[in-house]
Structure 1
């Protein structure tokens, strides 16, 4: 298992220690790091999906207002 060292403001350290008193702080930090990784990866996948959708829209044929109106009317009973 790896060790990670980083600096945080004293107020954050005090609040963390008070909030998670009598708990395994290493496990809590590891869980928070995992959540941050998953959140960032989810955001990246979301951005990539939007990019793919926008690219498909750019490549889609453009229809005139008349063509859209005809298509709507043809689809109605």
Structure 2
């Protein structure tokens, strides 16, 4: 198991100690770090999906304005 040292503002440290008094603070920090890692991974996957979808947009055929209007008006009384 590794040890890490962080500098944080005193008010955050005090609020953390009040909120998690009586709990294993190392376990709480480890859980928060795991959540942060998962969120960063999810953000990377979302960005990759966005880039893939937007890259494919250039390859899709564009609909002309006339064709779009015809589609909207098709079947209308």
Say yes or no: TM over 0.5.
yes
Distance 2:39 2:58 in 1: 29
User: What is the distance in 2 between the residues matched to 1:53 and 1:60?
Assistant: 11
C-alpha separation between the residues in 2 aligned to 1:56 and 1:71? 23
Cα distance in 2 for partners of 1:30, 1:10 equals: 20
Runs of 5+ unmatched residues, structure 2? none
Residue 52 of structure 1 corresponds to 52
What is the TM-score when the length of structure 2 is the normalising length? 0.84
- Displacement of 1:60: 1.0
For 1:37, the equivalent position in structure 2 comes to 37
TM-score by length of 1: 0.84
Measured on the aligned residues, the alpha-carbon RMSD in Å equals 1.8
Structure 1 portions without partners, runs of 5+: none
Q: CA deviation at 1:7?
A: 0.6
Q: Tell me how far apart the structure 2 counterparts of residues 64 and 13 of structure 1 sit (CA, whole Å).
A: 60
Deviation at 1:67, TM superposition (A): 3.0
